[in-house]
Amino acid sequence: MDPKTALQRSETLMLDMDGTLLDLAFDNYMWRDLVPRHYAAVNDMSLEAARDHLFEQYRSVQGDLQWYCLDHWCEALQIDVMQLHHDVNHRIGYLPGALDFLRAVHEQDLRVLLVTNSHPDTLALKDAVTGLSDYFDGVISSHNYGHAKESQSFWHALKEDVDFDVETTLFVDDSQPVLQSAADYGVKMLVTVTRPDTGRPTREDSEFRGVEGVADML
């Protein structure tokens, strides 16, 4: 279904945060650049060695709730990852057109839910910087359920918590495994954001209907 039509037909709109509303450039900078540099300095090793080590650790838990858990990384890396987030919070920002989109759907007769894998501490920081929670009827972190969005257990818990109709719910996310999980659960209207990071080119490889940015659905 065309993304604009899907939005018009939806009764519940579920939106991811990072890479859907907020620029994923912040997270990519944090985990691919700042954390490795800090880890290299603390452990007296080269940046290249630090990256190799960290990226292997990232891959080992990717898609699991641990991957999104700041407590896990603080303990595993023995560095204050949350403090690093605060140190560069000026880099947190909306994707082009995302704030206008939120203002527009907020005015519509539509239930709008933020559905994110973001850790509650990161979520609170990003909300403090951007004020995005003002535009939602509910804010859900997968950490509240103990399962990442990639897991079917997450969708069952979400259904029990907020109740939604898979036929009239539109879910927008930049992650292909997350969208596939939603599809497997039965959510019919799915849209992917093809440019989640403004510092990188548009993605061309999704099997889901895509928009470069959420504002393209208006």
pLDDT at 92: 98
Q: Does 123 score more than 90 pLDDT?
A: yes
pLDDT band (50, 70, 90) for residue 147? very high
In the predicted model, what is the mean pLDDT of residues 37-47?
94
Percent of the chain whose predicted confidence (pLDDT) is above 70: 100
Query: Which pLDDT band holds residue 33 (cuts at 50, 70, 90)?
Result: very high
Query: Could you give the CA distance from residue 3 to residue 9 in angstroms, rounded to a whole number?
Result: 10
Q: Report whether pLDDT(28) > 90.
A: yes
Contact 181, 152 (CB under 8 A): yes
Q: What is the mean pLDDT of residues 19-45?
A: 95
HEC readout, 10-22: CCEEEECCECCCE
Residue 172 has pLDDT above 90, yes or no: yes
pTM of the model: 0.95
Q: What is the pLDDT of residue 70?
A: 84
CA–CA separation, 110 and 33 (whole Å): 39
**Average pLDDT value for residue range 124-128:** 97
Q: What is the pLDDT of residue 74?
A: 84
Cβ 101 vs Cβ 175: under 8 Å: no
What pLDDT does residue 72 have? Answer: 86
Q: What is the pLDDT of residue 186?
A: 98
Q: Which of 43-57, 75-89, 186-200 has the highest mean pLDDT?
A: 186-200
More confident residue, 186 or 62: 186
Q: What is the overall mean pLDDT for the chain?
A: 95
Q: What is the 3-state secondary structure (H, E, C) of the chain?
A: CCHHHHHHHCCEEEECCECCCECCHHHHHHHHHHHHHHHHHHCCCCHHHHHHHHHHHHHHHCCCHHHHCHHHHHHHHCCCHHHHHHHCHHHCCECCCHHHHHHHHHCCCCEEEEEECCCHHHHHHHHHHHCHHHHCCEEEEHHHCCCCCCCHHHHHHHHHHHCCCCCCEEEEECCHHHHHHHHHHCCCEEEEECCCCCCCCCCCCCCCEEECCHHHHC
In tens, the pLDDT along 96-117 reads: 999 999 999 999 999 999 999 9
What fold is seen in the domain 3-24+94-217?
Rossmann fold (3.40.50)
**Residue ranges of the chain that CATH labels 3.40.50.1000:** 3-24+94-217
**Do the Cβ atoms of 115 and 123 come closer than 8 Å?**
no
Distance CA 166, CA 164 (A): 6
